[in-house]
Amino acid sequence: MSWPGRRDPASCSSNNAITMQKITPFLWFDGRAEEAAKFYTSIFKKSKILQVARYSDAGARAAGQAKNAVMTVAFEIAGQKFIALNGEPHFQFTEAISFVVSCRTQKEIDYFWRKLSAGGQEVQCGWLKDKFGVSWQVVPEILGELMGSKDGAKSQRVMEALLKMTKLDIAALKRAHAGKPETKTKRERSKR
């Protein structure tokens, strides 16, 4: 790879080095880096695997990995570059770091929610953990505008509505902002 002090000449040459952006998220997986990169690139448009680097003899010994096992996977999702590392189980993901997926429509929210939460855990307020333990926030683009209203009562109503949600519902957030009464969704009505 092309980050300072981390180039493994046995696993990649200067002919296929990836040009890095100024800040690149570097994610540590316990042996599932390639699986994770394939998962993420299958969900987002403008996404692809850029490079797979494998452990050389020296790197494998130092990291306690098998020779030729996947070391890193450089990939891009929605135009953002990432690097996934196959490390050992020393470090786990936490909610202290999350990725925000900004959505224009409810259809987009529903799509990303369904795909990213598959095999993972739905949390609250638009948060979820995917099957690798990475935290995501799937939110409508309009959320900042709704919550940042100069009218404090509107912002308060939006926050109260949001706190009751798992997956965010744009229409319900807009109704809360406008001060309209809550209406039950078809799913909620069918639970009676």
In this structure, of 31-40, 116-125, 174-183, the range with the lowest mean pLDDT score is: 174-183
Q: For 61-72, write each residue's pLDDT tens digit.
A: 888 888 999 999
Same domain, 82 and 104: no
60 part of a folded domain: yes
Q: In DSSP terms, which residues pair with 74 in a beta bridge?
A: 51, 83
Please tell me the total count of domains within the chain. Answer: 2
Same domain, 106 and 135: yes
Asked if the model's pLDDT at residue 2 lies above 70, the reply is no
Q: In DSSP terms, which residues pair with 138 in a beta bridge?
A: 101
Report the relative pairing of strands 121-122 and 127-129 from DSSP bridges.
antiparallel
Give residue 187's pLDDT: 52
Using only C-alpha atoms, the chain has a radius of gyration, in whole angstroms, of: 21
Same domain, 108 and 174: yes
Give residue 104's pLDDT: 98
Asked if the model's pLDDT at residue 91 lies above 50, the reply is yes
* % pLDDT > 90, the chain: 73
Kindly report the CATH number assigned to the domain that includes residue 37. Answer: 3.10.180.10
pTM exceeds 0.85: no
Most confident of 89-98, 124-133, 177-186: 124-133
Average pLDDT over residues 130-138: 98
Other beta carbons within 10 Å of 120: 16
Average pLDDT over residues 131-160: 96
Same domain, 45 and 119: no
Give residue 164's pLDDT: 96
- Quote the domain boundaries for residue 72: 20-86
Query: Using 50, 70 and 90 to split pLDDT, how confident is the model at 166?
Result: very high
Q: For 4-54, write each residue's pLDDT tens digit.
A: 334 443 344 334 566 778 999 999 999 999 999 999 999 999 999 999 999
Average pLDDT over residues 91-112: 96
Same domain, 103 and 154: yes
Relative orientation angle of helices 106-117 and 170-178, to the nearest 10 degrees: 130
Concatenate the DSSP letters of all residues of the chain into one string: --STT---TTT--GGGPPPPPSS--EEEESS-HHHHHHHHHHHSSS-EEEEEEE--HHHHHHHT--TTSEEEEEEEETTEEEEEEE--TT----TTSEEEEEESSHHHHHHHHHHHHTTSEE-STTEEE-TTS-EEEEEETTHHHHHT-SSHHHHHHHHHHHHT-SS--HHHHHHHHHTPPP---HHHHHT-
Asked if the model's pLDDT at residue 109 lies above 60, the reply is yes
Same domain, 102 and 152: yes
- How far are the Cα atoms of 74, 92, 98, 135, 161 from residue 95, in angstroms, in the given order? 23, 10, 6, 6, 22
Average pLDDT over the chain reads: 88
